[in-house]
Amino acid sequence: MSRPTVFISGAAAGIGRATAHAFARLGYHVGAFDIDEPGLGLLRDEIEAIGGSVRVGLLNVTDAAQWDSALAQFHADEQRLDVLINNAGVLASGRFEEMDIATHRRMVDINVNGVVNGSRAAFGYLRETPSAQLVNLCSASAIYGQPELATYSATKFAVRGLTEALDLEWRPYDIRVIAVWPMFVRTAMVDGMDTGTTRSLGIHLTAEDVADGIVDAVGHRPRLLRKVHYPIGRQAKAFANLAKFSPDWATRLTNKRMSHT
């Protein structure tokens, strides 16, 4: 019998790298794809050293043709795609009007278009694999728009909406679509970042924390109520619950105070 498989974008470092290790330890055949070729080489050596199975390859998530090629190569290994994880993303912080337009566009291209490209390219393979899952990396910044992270926050709202829509649209094909919601994570993405919210809350999660959360979410399939969103960490869970049960003005006021705006 073929092994279960997982394809991860942005896998060379940070959350993607930790997630690749986590699934390799569970016996998955891992597809680790990124634009960072040296990082992928190190990851391949690490996974193979523990007896894991991995295919690495270059992938610019903004290029739909590259997605088609990468998934075709990976699917040929085991003839199945159990889990696709849209992990690749970028973050830039600062006042909205002070960031150049190229920075804003890069976040939209990678964080939104990259997820759209990956989801669309994977659909056929997911449909052919029983009980397949699509996992999108969302963010607690999609609970309420974040000052100094305005465009990044907007991209994660887009990911949230896409996830909710596809979970309904693809349910007849036995494809589960979910989003994981971490707060700030100690990776290279937040190096040098200094915003009102990070000063208020700190940065406590590790990439391994998020990887464990992704593994738990993939393994957690409620029998009755279908769960779509999975906050990771105490802070994200607290704010998600606050937004769920509080009026908008209370959520806005809390966000305003945390961000010192």
Total domain count for the chain?
A: 1
Amino acid 7: pLDDT: 98
What's the pLDDT tens digit per position in 90-110?
Answer: 999 999 999 999 999 999 999
> Whole-number mean pLDDT of the chain?
91
What order of strands is seen across the sheet that includes strand 83-86?
53-58, 29-34, 5-9, 83-86, 132-137, 175-182, 229-232
pTM for this predicted structure:
0.91
Q: For a pLDDT cut of 70, what percent of the chain falls above it?
A: 97
For residue 91, the SS3 value is coil
CB 151 within 8 A of CB 163: no
pLDDT at 246 (0 to 100): 75
Residue 205: its pLDDT value, please?
Answer: 83
- 125 is a catalytic site residue: no
Whether the pLDDT of residue 173 is over 80: the answer is: yes
Domain CATH number, residue 246 = 3.40.50.720
Active-site choice (28, 125, 144, 152) = 152
Q: Looking at residue 81, what is its pLDDT?
A: 98
Q: Which of 22-26, 53-57, 107-111, 240-244 has the lowest mean pLDDT?
A: 240-244
Q: What is the pLDDT of residue 30?
A: 98
Q: DSSP assignment of 125-148, as one string?
A: HHHHSTTEEEEEE--GGGTSPPTT
| pLDDT for the residue 1 | 63
Q: What is the pLDDT of residues 112-129, one digit of tens each?
A: 999 999 999 999 999 999
pLDDT at 200: 67
| CA distance linking residue 195 with residue 44, whole number of Å | 35
Q: Is residue 235 pLDDT above 90, yes or no?
A: no
> Domain range spanning residue 255?
5-259
- Average pLDDT over every residue of 15-33: 98
- What is the dihedral sign for C-alpha 160, 164, 169, 173? positive
Summarize pLDDT for 181-220 with one digit per residue, the tens: 987 777 777 767 777 676 666 766 899 999 999 999 999 8
The average pLDDT across 151-174 equals: 97
Mean pLDDT, rounded, for 75-96: 96
